Amino acid sequence: MDRKWIKNPNRLSDEYKRGVQSFLEVASKHVNAKGKTKCPCIKCLNHDGQTLSVVKIHLRNYGISTSYDIWTSHGETVRQRSQIPSPPMAEQVDGANDIVHNILNDAFPHTDMDHMGQDLAEDEILRGNEDVMDDDHVSHGMRVNDDQYEKLMAEA
């Protein structure tokens, strides 16, 4: 069975319930002498040992840790899991990172942050909004200190 159910937020769905059942079948082969196995719910995170019935309740109530897709605490090895084909990820698709990079650059072009505030203020003034730099506004990301301004103007 695939592991899509792990990321399914609807813990009442049939897919999730079937996934929990398939996990419990695997976990039942990895119980200790007290009949407990590590619980992969988001509360226990494989640190606490629980009975299978408690694991089932935890998985239904709290959900499984979405990063626990290779069941290493329940006998699965990374090698075994890697033999199961998975859909291609963005890194595996040739040029996918370049495409994403280009989209982000188009949406958020690089700007010179040192001059951005000045440019925005000048644009506002050109549009007739001279009050853009009044005492209640911010210039270049910093609050204008009136006392320092007056002192500098007197010295100039």
Structural domain that includes position 124: 113-155
Contact 41, 62 (CB under 8 A): yes
Give the whole-angstrom CA distance, residue 106 versus residue 98: 12
pTM (2 d.p.) = 0.49
Pair 21, 82 in one domain: yes
Q: What is the pLDDT of residues 129-140, one digit of tens each?
A: 554 444 444 444
Shared-domain flag, residues 119 and 82: no
Is 40 a member of any domain?
Answer: yes
Tokens 């595996």: give the residue. Answer: 92
Helix axis angle, 52-61 to 14-27, nearest 10°? 150
Both tokens assigned to 67:
């990063």
Residues 81, 139 share a domain? no
Split into its structural domains, the chain has a count of: 2
Top pLDDT among 53 and 145 is at 53
The alpha carbon of residue 111 and the mean position of all alpha carbons in its chain are separated, in whole angstroms, by 26
For residue 97, tell me if it sits in a domain: no
Q: Token pair of 153, please? A: 């103007």
Question: Considering 74, 89, 104, which residue would you say is the last residue of a domain?
Answer: 89
pLDDT tens digits, 77-113: 776 555 555 555 544 555 566 777 677 777 777 655 4
Is residue 77 domain-shared with residue 10, that is, in the same domain? Answer: yes
Residues 61 and 29 in one domain: yes
Answer for the pair 60, 20: CB distance below 8 angstroms, yes or no. Answer: yes
Strand partners of residue 121: none
Asked whether residue 10 is assigned to any structural domain, the reply reads: yes
User: Does residue 74 share a domain with residue 35?
Assistant: yes
Closest CA to 48 of 31, 36, 59: 36
Q: Which residue has the tokens 């506002």?
A: 124
